Structure 1
Amino acid sequence: MGLSKEQLLTQLQELQIEFSKYEHPLVLTVEAQAKYVGNLGGGLSKNLFLKDKKSRFYVVSALADTRVDLKVLSQRLGLGKGGLRMAPEEALGEILQVPLGCVTPFALVNESARDVSLLLDQGFKTHEHCFFHPLSNDMSISLNARDLDRFLKSIGRDPSYVDLEATPTVGKDQPPDLAALVPSGSIALPDQAEKQSSSEVPKEGNTVSVSNKPKTVSAKVVNPCIVGNNTKGTPVKNVCSSGSFADVGKFVEEILQKTSELLLSEIKEETIGLHGEQLSAVVCDKLQKNLNSDLKNLAMIFKNTAYTEGFHAGTQHQPTRW
């Protein structure tokens, strides 16, 4: 269980950090927060929780009007153009231990976030005070960059301020300028560990084995028409009719249909207010996460259908023996 809002505020008071607090309804976007504290002066903050391909996590905290290009930031960290994406929602609970909409530098107070890298917008230093959620998005607190630094140092963090809109050249003679901010180790979520261990053991019904003896084949073939659950726990409809996956065109159409349905379902009310780069990253992450299981099932169905077709063809048309 992570630190509560009340515990965080008490910790700030014990550090003699001056701050002002403003209670308001739950908000999920900077635009919604601005309705309640935007008229008070100071800088509003937007906060991104990101991960790279090696399961290393990052919190990027920036002014609301700072443009954060994830492709450029990824290159500056030495991760390539597509090395960063939005972290999965379950990581909020497992690592930062905060709900959706509550990511801020304060979330790094929890021990579970000790290996998460923090990048702060240097623009924070140009404002007399800035607004952040104190682990809960039903309140905003304002404080200046110096006091934010004092808090971060109290939990063993050395604040790193970055010009997030800079676009330095990265190449052979220009190494990534932010490479030092890449975490040293990856973080494995519990469900990831379970998936990895389960994937190492072949599931019954998904294997095809060929013995060493000539002309002898034993196989367990999956029924090409499967009814099961997708990654969200909702029933998956019967995805094919008899023999449909012998047709490559129908196989591709099924993939495109599933992608389109999921894309439309993920453009929800809570994502409409996100900025362009945030929205695209969220949708891409959702697509990859939620389509992963379905597409694996479709690929396995296609594979086993192809095998079955070939197996039957081989048994029905035996070559003439001389």
Structure 2
Amino acid sequence: MGLTKEQLLQRLQELQIQFSKYEHPAVLTVEAQAKYVGNLGGGLSKNLFLKDKKNRFYVVSALADTKVDLKVLSQRLGLGKGGLRMAPEEALAEILQVSLGCVTPFAVVNESARDVSLLLDQGFKTQEHCFFHPLSNDMSISLNVRDLDTFLKSIGRDPSYVDLEANPAVGKDQPPDLAALVPSGSIVLPDQPGKQSSAEVPPRDGNIVSVDNKSKTVPAKVVKPLVGNNSKGTLDKNVQSSRSYADVGQLVEEILHKTSKLLLSEINEETIKIHGEQLGTTVSDKLQKHLSSDFKNLAMMFKNTAYTEGFHAGTHHQPRR
């Protein structure tokens, strides 16, 4: 279990760091936070939890009005234009061990985040004090940059302040200026409960079907013709349980429903403000990631249903000799 809010505040006190704390209802956006502490002066922060294609993770902490272009930042890290994207929500719990809306520079305190790179906005240095959530978004604390540095150094971090709005040229003779901040190691998330691997997909009737790119899909259990009074009832029950997947129209409706639901969940005021013109690319990436396995499973279920019903038809309609 990660450090709690109370434990973090205790550690700050042990380091003799001066801070002020302000309790408020849980907030998910900078705008919501500003309603409670925005009139106190100082800099509000927005924080992004990002990952690259090699499963290396980054926390980017910036002043609320700093414009962070992920494509530019990705190039400056040497990852190409599309090398950075928002980290999946499950990574918050596994790596930073915080909830949604609680990402801050303090979130790298846990051992599970030791390989996460932290990029700080150099604009923080222009502020008398800055506001961050102390691992929980129902409180904000204010402290100056020197004290933030003291905390980060106490956990073995060398603070890296970056001009996040800069857009230096990157090319053959101009290497990426932030390449040194790319983590040396990747982080592999454990398999999530309830998620199916690409190697095994349970069809509607519960049998395991092995999937191999080099061979055809083969049921793990060979279906044999059933003989006797109970055979027809058993087979009909299995076919009935997967009836919806034998209907192409219903299959398409389910695909559209899943797509629409995820699409609407990804587009909100916060994501529009964070991603701007890159929102389409970000949402597209998430749709592909989250729906790919679902669609493969649906297609496999449909295929298994066709196989089962084809077998059912064959056992009841023998060709005449």
Could you say which TM-score interval applies, normalised by the shorter chain?
A: 0.7 to 0.9
Matched residue SS, 1:191: coil
Task: Give yes or no for contact 1:23–1:139 (8 Å, CA) kept in 2.
Answer: yes
Is 1:277 matched up with 2:274?
yes
Deviation at 1:278, TM superposition (A): 4.2
Deviations 1:86-108 (A, max 9, x none): 11111111111111111000011
Task: Using the TM superposition, give the Cα deviation of residue 264 of structure 1 relative to its aligned residue in structure 2, in angstroms.
Answer: 2.3
Contact 2:134 2:141 in 1 (8 A): yes
Alignment partners' CA distance in 1, 2:127 and 2:307? 65
CA contact (8 A) 1:92 1:98 kept: yes
1:6 aligns with 2:3: no
- Please give the secondary structure, in 2, of the residue aligned with 1:75: helix
Paired residue total: 286
The two structures have a TM-score, normalised by structure 2, of 0.76
Q: Shift of residue 171 of structure 1?
A: 1.7
> What is the letter of the counterpart of residue 122 of structure 1?
Q
Residues 71-119 of structure 1 deviation map (CA, whole Å, 9 limit, x = unaligned): 1111111111111111111111111111111100001111111110000
Matched, 1:51 2:48: no
Contact 1:208-1:220 at 8 Å conserved across structures: no
Aligned partner letter, 1:78: G
TM alignment of 1:1-322, pairs within 5 A:
1-191=1-191, 198-200=197-199, 206-207=209-210, 220=219, 238=244, 241=247, 244=248, 258-267=258-267, 271-278=268-275, 280=279, 283-284=283-284, 286-300=286-300
Q: Relative to 1, partners in 2 of residues 1:282 and 1:134: Cα closer, same or farther, differing over 3 Å?
A: farther
Distance of 1:52 and 1:45 partners within structure 2: 22
Q: 1:165 to 1:67 in 2, by over 3 A?
A: same
Q: Out of 294-303 and 14-23, give the one that drifted further.
A: 294-303
Letter in 2 for 1:17: I
Deviations 1:152-177 (A, max 9, x none): 00000000011111111112222111
- Unmatched segments (≥5 aa) in structure 2: 224-237, 309-321
Q: Report deviation, 1:225.
A: 11
Answer whether contact 1:63 1:124 (CA < 8 A) is retained. Answer: yes
Q: Confirm or deny: 8 A CA contact 2:199 2:211 kept in the other structure.
A: no
Check conservation: 1:225, 1:239, Cα contact below 8 A.
no
Unaligned runs of 5+ in 1: 210-216, 228-236, 309-322
Aligned Cα RMSD in Å? Answer: 3.7
- The 1:226–1:190 alpha-carbon spacing in structure 2 relative to 1, beyond 3 Å, is farther
> What are the superposed Cα offsets for residues 190-224 of structure 1, whole Å, 9 maximum, x if unpaired?
1169979x445687664589xxxxxxx99549999
Q: 1:139 to 1:251 in 2, by over 3 A?
A: closer
Alignment-mate amino acid for residue 71 of structure 2: K
What is the CA distance between 1:18 and its match in structure 2? Answer: 1.1
